[in-house]
């Protein structure tokens, strides 16, 4: 089994190396053959491991010692349990589908081999992240996926927008990592190790300790650690106010938007908090913060999606909002529901993105939905798979998104820590908004009158099979994954991997009422979320099919609100003024005054000038006339003698 | 000791002897001969250094490969050599870098080839002498001698403003080290006539002289490292130096300062080191934050990397004065890693400079279109410079931050800002130079790296990744020495 564990990350790494280093020698076709078969190997290994874990075989062991310093051993190792095995299957499955899809999407791109190398490298990094049994390797995977994300957003490096977006993504993530690394440092300081199992076992001893980071203000150590770690999650999982990089990341090719910026990498933060549940459970302050941050992200990002016209950006803001749902679930201690939503979201969001990519291929890289419409009859596979994903996303009973989202909303209703009312309002209101923007996308793109130019319209056709095949494969779990909610969320599936304190038992209370998936669906018909969702779909239908003139009128009626949403609450402008402008101003001041004027100008060159000045002074004594020297000597002898005599 | 050979003497004198031989080849008509002899000599120097690692006993904290012969009997000056877990890796780094520098100058240097190659070989031997000396006078001799080849390299093969830069470099470092000599003379007096550094380690000293000695050493070493605010010679020196000079300056010469703190300041005056640690930490943090910001606004690529060097060396001095194993070993790893990364960064800039003859960022843009292989290497080294895990740049910074949080959370907080600033200035540089559309005809005409350049960059890439993925063998040799040093520093000498 250990060999299989190694195979899961190393197979894609090998693929990345082959495609990256030798891609130009083996050519495009062999590059994708090699990488795809190695990712497929990784998927098969993940599935075998998953089955093995279902049999109760959990593994926690080290691969090699990375470093020993002082008394601390830093190891590279694997923790294979239900949580990591689930993630491994999701990651390798979505990754494989994206690899296949890429054959069609990146066809004839000059960077074809490079692209395959990057996405395989990403798969390796993500596997290292989820399989880790310690914080160090977690951080390694964490940064490595960030690197690949950077490389892929800037894949088309000639585009100014792409290379701006990738730098922004990396730097905003670094702000999160800044907190994350400090959190890890605090863990090492208080627990003496970075190994998960040892840290979790020591939680009891540390839980009462306080630390005065600001003198006179004792804070719980656990709270400080959890908040710092969560700042990392806010960066990676794009939570407000560190969400700004994700919409811009859409500059990258669409396959990676699906793989990295929807299904897997951005959920790393969610995964991390769930993994750290024994720590987070001890800190109500951190949980409250998570609830509020998640709530804000859920609602306010969903609102932006309603006014976007770029098809990828709608899906991007939808991703932000859905990540907010997962975050809220974490805050409510409903870790299993968060992971479950992570899983269902990975499938339906991957379909939405890949479907959007398929539309973009057909539209010759036009992404504006105002120039689409009526695509349904040209692209049946794309339409129906996206329709399924939209229904799942809107939370219609029977589809995967319904189960996971409903569980989150209900769990938040049962939770009882500060901030929960606000979060509950946000997740509830967002149900309506989600249904609205998702179906707005479907209706604007696929229904109604075609609005594209004649040339594009003539060439409209369904995408090739390498593109539609992944859509169909991913559509299956989009429908069906939700039906496993019973064992996964309410059952004992995550026992041992996720820890919940008795006082945070929202999921347990919810589980007590759970009467099977059909019971859940029937119960939903009498609850608010279902009707909000129906209302959202209806509104979208009315505005974008029946009265297509209305959206413009509403926009003009509420122009200030529209502008605020369209400009994304002006957060980008604010950041670029404060951070980019501020640090540049500060740094040029420090350089021009600190280094050039004060240190070099005053001290260094000043010292040189003093030496030069005193040299001119001394030079006056060296006239070369004997009588000057003789006179000086006589004076000197006189002075010395008189002092001696005196 | 391998076959009873005096290995340390060999790593010092083989490069110097072959360097002199290279000089003897004379004028540029025999340049090809000079190049080949220099290459053979530098590789030989590296090969001789390998047994220092393989024969090294990591369990010992005492000096190994010791050689001791009388030099000036009257003043008790000895030719006394020996290495421990701190100096051995630095010698290896030096011997590893020299062949790369010779290779880097292969076709680029066309005038006074023999003198150029000879200077680097002689410098290599001298620097090994600095790291291996256990006698204060011997150390001081090597220390000052190391100034001369670098002074010439900058002054002869440098850029337009080379004379100002060379003199600034020379005076800055010379003034610093004069006080060190005075400290040695004082220690000679109070130790009843010994110049042995190991004797100084055991010498009891009251607090006042300790502080004075600390300050004398500080001036010498802080200038070398360089620490804020005595850092301003470095950007000028780097900008004017030829590529090879910059590489040796950043990769090796700065490490002499760091080494000095470990060999002299901490063990000889431990109480003063503890007493003044707050100041040292403050200066280091200023280097990290302030210099990190200053690097952001540089328009000259070499200056940017020079400032980035200073910020990274801030981690070294920060790690020293935390007085825990994480900090100290982290600082050591940071020194070695910085050796590889800064060498690689300067070589990358050299590759561009050799083609376009400009160091201005504004003269580039879209290099990736024309030099994809180079762009990939530069990406790796840029990421290493930004401290990405999996590269050597991460290891040292990570360990020092782990050590800092133990002492004070806010030290770690300020040090960790490098995650943001380091990434900001490096990636912004990368974006402006490498990404984008081809900016101008000069970039349009670029050719990708030659085999020679590929080999140099590939060797460094392997080193950077190897330390990042598996730093264990590197730190293993330091443990005993570092533990011993920490125990020694914890004991008062008053």
Maximum separation of any 2 CA atoms in chain B, in Å: 70
In chain A, which residue's Cα lies nearest the Cα of B413?
A182
Chain A hits for B298, Cβ within 8 Å: 591
Given B168, B326, B420, which is nearest A174 (Cβ)? B420
At B331 the pLDDT is 93
Q: Contact A157/B435, CB-based, under 8 Å?
A: yes
Contact B89/A at CB under 8 A: no
Pairing outcome for strands A217-220 and A210-214: antiparallel
Chain B hits for A177, Cβ within 8 Å: 419
Number of Cβ atoms within 10 Å of the Cβ of A74: 24
Contacts of B289 (CB under 8 A, 6+ apart): B414, B417, B421
Handedness of CA B150, B151, B155, B156 (dihedral sign): negative
Contact B431/A at CB under 8 A: yes
- Euclidean distance between CA atoms A207 and A493, whole angstroms: 27
Chain B hits for A65, Cβ within 8 Å: 472
Contact B6/A at CB under 8 A: no
**A107 Cα to chain B: minimum distance (Å):** 20
Pairing outcome for strands A210-214 and A72-80: unpaired
Q: Contact B368/A157, CB-based, under 8 Å?
A: yes
Angle between helices A582-589 and B277-296 (to 10 degrees): 110
Are A102 and A29 spatial neighbours (Cβ–Cβ below 8 Å)? no
Q: Contact A583/B293, CB-based, under 8 Å?
A: yes
At A144 the pLDDT is 92
In degrees rounded to 5, what are phi and psi of residue A65?
-85, 120
- Euclidean distance between CA atoms B165 and B151, whole angstroms: 9
Chain A hits for B416, Cβ within 8 Å: 178, 181-182, 185
**A2 Cα to chain B: minimum distance (Å):** 20
Range A403-406 contact pairs with CB under 8 angstroms and sequence separation of 24 or more: A403/A340, A403/A344, A403/A482, A403/A483, A403/A485, A403/A517, A403/A520, A404/A337, A404/A340, A404/A341, A404/A343, A404/A344, A404/A345, A404/A482, A404/A485, A404/A489, A405/A325, A405/A341, A405/A431, A405/A529, A406/A520, A406/A524, A406/A527, A406/A529
At A621 the pLDDT is 67
Contacts of A2 (CB under 8 A, 6+ apart): A59, A61
B 328-347: CB under 8 A from A: 329-330
B 358-387: CB under 8 A from A: 366, 368-369, 379, 383
At A271 the pLDDT is 92
> Best mutation site among B322, B409, B444, B482 for testing chain A: the one with the most A CBs within 10 Å?
B409
Maximum separation of any 2 CA atoms in chain A, in Å: 120
Q: Contact A69/B326, CB-based, under 8 Å?
A: yes
**A586 Cα to chain B: minimum distance (Å):** 8
Given B296, B437, B472, which is nearest A66 (Cβ)? B472
Q: Contact A181/B401, CB-based, under 8 Å?
A: yes
Examine the pLDDT at B326 and tell me if it is beyond 60. Answer: yes
Contact B58/A at CB under 8 A: no
Q: Which residues of chain A have pLDDT under 70?
A: 620-624
pTM of the model: 0.90
Chain A hits for B324, Cβ within 8 Å: 70
Contact B409/A at CB under 8 A: yes
Examine the pLDDT at B1 and tell me if it is beyond 60. Answer: no
Pairing outcome for strands A59-69 and A72-80: antiparallel
Q: Contact B437/A140, CB-based, under 8 Å?
A: no
Q: Contact B417/A174, CB-based, under 8 Å?
A: no
Question: How confident is the model over B236-282, as pLDDT tens digits?
Answer: 888 888 888 899 989 999 999 999 999 999 999 999 898 999 999 99
- Euclidean distance between CA atoms A282 and A227, whole angstroms: 12
Handedness of CA A572, A551, A371, A316 (dihedral sign): positive
Question: Average model confidence (pLDDT) for chain B?
Answer: 89
Question: How confident is the model over B24-74, as pLDDT tens digits?
Answer: 887 778 878 888 888 898 999 899 888 888 888 888 888 888 888 888 888
pLDDT higher at B71 or B385: B385
In chain A, which residue's Cα lies nearest the Cα of B404?
A185
Q: Contact A188/B290, CB-based, under 8 Å?
A: no
At B171 the pLDDT is 82
- Euclidean distance between CA atoms B225 and A253, whole angstroms: 45
Are B490 and B332 spatial neighbours (Cβ–Cβ below 8 Å)? no
Q: What is the 3-state secondary structure (H, E, C) of A21-64?
A: HHHHHHHHHHHHHHHHHHHHHHHHHHHHHHHHHHCCCCEEEEEE
At B75 the pLDDT is 83
**B475 Cα to chain A: minimum distance (Å):** 7
Given B395, B412, B420, which is nearest A185 (Cβ)? B412
Paired residues of A220 in beta bridges: A210
Looking at chain B, the whole-number percentage of residues with pLDDT higher than 70 is 99
Q: Contact A213/B401, CB-based, under 8 Å?
A: no
Q: What share of chain B is helix, strand, coil (3-state, %, to 5)?
A: 75, 5, 20
In degrees rounded to 5, what are phi and psi of residue A211?
-140, 140
Q: DSSP per residue over A449-484, as a string?
A: S--S-HHHHHT--PPPHHHHHHHHHHHHHHHHGGGG
Are B207 and B272 spatial neighbours (Cβ–Cβ below 8 Å)? yes
What does the DSSP 8-state code read for residue A504?
A: G
Are B265 and B321 spatial neighbours (Cβ–Cβ below 8 Å)? no
At B2 the pLDDT is 53
Q: Contact A178/B326, CB-based, under 8 Å?
A: no
Contacts of B254 (CB under 8 A, 6+ apart): B224, B225, B226, B234, B309, B313, B338
Contact B229/A at CB under 8 A: yes
Chain B hits for A67, Cβ within 8 Å: 395, 399, 471-472, 475
At B494 the pLDDT is 78
Q: Contact A587/B294, CB-based, under 8 Å?
A: yes
What H or E segment, with its residue span, contains residue A214? strand A210-214
- Euclidean distance between CA atoms B190 and B205, whole angstroms: 9
Q: How many Å is the Cα radius of gyration of chain A?
A: 30
At B3 the pLDDT is 61
Given A70, A174, A590, which is nearest B293 (Cβ)? A590
- Euclidean distance between CA atoms B101 and B99, whole angstroms: 5
Contacts of A460 (CB under 8 A, 6+ apart): A362, A363, A375, A378, A379, A452
Q: Contact B389/A595, CB-based, under 8 Å?
A: no
**A227 Cα to chain B: minimum distance (Å):** 14
**B114 Cα to chain A: minimum distance (Å):** 34
Q: Contact A171/B405, CB-based, under 8 Å?
A: no
Cβ-Cβ pairs closer than 8 A, A with B, add up to 133
């Amino acid at each position: 089994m250990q060999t299989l564990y190694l195979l899961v990350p190393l197979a894609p790494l090998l693929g990345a190396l082959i495609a990256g280093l030798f891609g130009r020698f083996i050519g495009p076709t062999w590059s994708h053959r090699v990488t795809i078969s190695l990712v497929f190997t990784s998927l098969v290994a993940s599935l075998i491991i998953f089955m093995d874990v279902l049999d109760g075989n959990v593994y926690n062991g080290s691969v090699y010692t990375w470093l020993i310093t002082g008394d601390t051993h830093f190891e590279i190792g694997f923790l294979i349990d239900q949580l990591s095995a689930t993630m491994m299957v999701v990651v390798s499955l979505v990754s494989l589908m994206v690899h296949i899809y890429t054959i069609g999407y990146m066809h004839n791109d000059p960077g074809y081999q490079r692209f395959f190398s990057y996405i395989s490298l990403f798969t390796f990094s993500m596997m290292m992240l989820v399989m880790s049994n310690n914080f160090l390797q977690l951080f390694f995977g964490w940064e490595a996926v960030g690197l690949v994300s950077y490389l892929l957003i800037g894949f088309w490096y000639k585009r100014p927008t792409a290379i701006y977006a990738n730098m922004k993504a990396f730097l905003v993530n670094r702000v999160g990592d800044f907190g994350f690394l400090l959190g890890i440092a605090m863990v090492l300081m208080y627990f003496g190790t970075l190994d998960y199992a040892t840290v979790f076992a020591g939680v009891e001893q540390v839980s009462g300790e306080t630390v005065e980071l600001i003198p006179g203000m004792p804070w719980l150590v656990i709270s400080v650690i959890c908040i710092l770690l969560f700042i990392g999650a806010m960066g990676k999982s794009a939570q407000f106010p560190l969400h700004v990089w994700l919409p811009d990341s859409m500059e990258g090719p669409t396959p990676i938007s699906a793989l990295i910026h929807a299904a897997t990498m951005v959920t790393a933060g969610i995964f991390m908090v769930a993994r750290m549940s024994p720590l987070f459970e001890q800190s109500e302050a951190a949980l409250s913060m998570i609830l509020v941050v998640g709530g804000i992200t859920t609602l306010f990002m969903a609102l932006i999606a309603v006014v976007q016209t770029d098809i990828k950006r709608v899906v991007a803001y939808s991703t932000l909002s859905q990540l907010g749902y997962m975050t809220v679930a974490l805050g409510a201690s409903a870790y299993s529901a968060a992971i479950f939503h992570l899983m269902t979201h990975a499938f339906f969001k991957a379909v939405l993105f890949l479907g959007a990519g398929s539309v973009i291929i057909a539209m010759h890289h036009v992404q504006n939905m105002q120039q689409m419409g009526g695509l349904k009859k040209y692209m049946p596979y794309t339409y129906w798979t996206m329709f399924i994903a939209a229904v799942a996303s809107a939370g219609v009973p029977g589809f995967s998104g319904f189960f996971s989202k409903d569980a989150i909303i209900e769990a938040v209703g049962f939770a009882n820590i500060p901030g929960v009312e606000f979060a509950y309002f946000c997740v509830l209101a967002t149900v309506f908004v989600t249904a609205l923007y998702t179906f707005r996308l479907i209706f604007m793109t696929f229904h109604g009158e075609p609005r594209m130019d004649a040339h594009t319209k003539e060439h409209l056709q369904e995408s090739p099979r390498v593109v539609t095949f992944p859509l169909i494969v991913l559509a299956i779990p989009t429908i069906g994954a939700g039906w496993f909610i019973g064992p996964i969320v309410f059952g004992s599936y995550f026992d041992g991997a996720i820890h919940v304190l008795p006082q945070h038992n929202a999921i347990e209370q919810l589980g007590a009422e759970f009467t099977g998936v059909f019971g859940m669906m029937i119960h939903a018909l009498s609850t608010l979320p279902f009707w909000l969702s129906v209302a959202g779909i209806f509104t979208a239908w009315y505005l974008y099919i029946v009265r297509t003139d209305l959206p413009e009128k509403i926009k003009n009626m509420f122009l200030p609100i529209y502008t605020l949403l369209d400009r994304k609450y002006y957060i980008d402008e604010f950041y670029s003024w404060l951070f980019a402008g501020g640090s540049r101003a500060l740094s040029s001041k420090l350089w021009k005054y600190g280094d050039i004027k004060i240190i070099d100008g005053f001290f260094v060159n000043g010292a040189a000038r003093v030496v030069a000045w005193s040299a001119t002074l001394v030079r006056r004594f060296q006239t070369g006339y004997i009588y000057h020297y003789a006179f000086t000597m006589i004076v000197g002898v006189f002075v010395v003698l008189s002092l001696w005599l005196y | 000791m391998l076959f009873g050979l005096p290995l340390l003497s060999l790593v010092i004198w083989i490069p110097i002897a072959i360097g002199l031989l290279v000089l003897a080849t004379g004028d540029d008509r025999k340049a090809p001969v000079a190049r080949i002899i220099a290459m053979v000599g530098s590789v030989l120097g590296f090969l001789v250094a390998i047994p220092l690692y393989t024969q090294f006993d990591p369990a010992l904290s005492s000096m190994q490969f010791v050689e001791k012969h009388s030099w000036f009997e009257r003043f008790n000056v000895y030719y006394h050599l020996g290495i421990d877990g701190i100096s051995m890796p630095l010698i290896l780094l030096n011997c590893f870098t020299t062949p790369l520098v010779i290779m880097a100058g292969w076709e680029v240097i066309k005038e006074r080839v023999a003198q150029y190659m000879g200077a680097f070989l002689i410098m290599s031997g001298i620097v090994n002498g600095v790291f291996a000396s256990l006698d204060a006078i011997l150390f001081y001799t090597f220390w000052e001698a190391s100034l001369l080849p670098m002074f010439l390299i900058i002054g002869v093969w440098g850029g337009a403003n080379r004379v100002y830069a060379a003199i600034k470099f020379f005076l800055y470092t010379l003034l610093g080290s004069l006080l060190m000599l005075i400290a040695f003379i004082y220690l000679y007096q109070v130790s009843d006539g010994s110049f042995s550094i190991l004797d100084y380690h055991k010498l009891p000293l009251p607090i006042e002289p300790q502080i004075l000695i600390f300050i004398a050493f500080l001036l010498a070493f802080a200038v070398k490292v360089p620490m804020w605010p005595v850092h301003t010679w470095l950007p000028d020196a780097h900008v004017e130096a030829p590529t090879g000079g910059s590489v040796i300056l950043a990769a090796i010469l700065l490490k002499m300062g760091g080494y000095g703190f470990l060999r002299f300041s901490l063990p000889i005056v431990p109480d003063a080191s503890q007493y003044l640690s707050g100041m040292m930490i403050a200066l280091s943090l200023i280097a990290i934050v302030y210099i990190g910001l200053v690097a952001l606004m540089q328009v000259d690529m070499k200056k940017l990397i020079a400032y980035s060097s200073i910020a990274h060396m801030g981690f070294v001095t920060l790690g020293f004065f935390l007085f825990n194993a994480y900090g100290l070993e982290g600082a050591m790893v940071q020194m070695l890693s910085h050796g590889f990364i800064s060498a690689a960064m300067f070589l990358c800039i050299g590759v561009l400079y050799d083609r376009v003859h400009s160091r201005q960022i504004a003269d580039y843009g879209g290099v990736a279109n024309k030099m994809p292989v180079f762009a990939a290497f530069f990406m790796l080294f840029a990421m290493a410079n930004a401290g990405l895990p999996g590269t050597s740049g991460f290891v040292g910074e990570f360990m020092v931050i782990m050590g800092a949080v133990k002492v004070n959370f806010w030290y770690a907080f300020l040090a960790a800002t490098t995650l943001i600033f380091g990434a900001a200035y490096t990636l912004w540089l990368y974006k402006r130079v490498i990404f984008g559309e081809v900016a101008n005809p000069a970039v349009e005409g670029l050719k990708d790296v030659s085999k020679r350049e590929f080999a140099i960059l590939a060797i460094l890439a392997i080193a950077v990744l190897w330390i990042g993925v598996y730093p264990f063998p590197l730190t293993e040799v330091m443990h005993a020495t570092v533990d011993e040093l920490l125990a020694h520093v914890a004991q008062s000498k008053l």
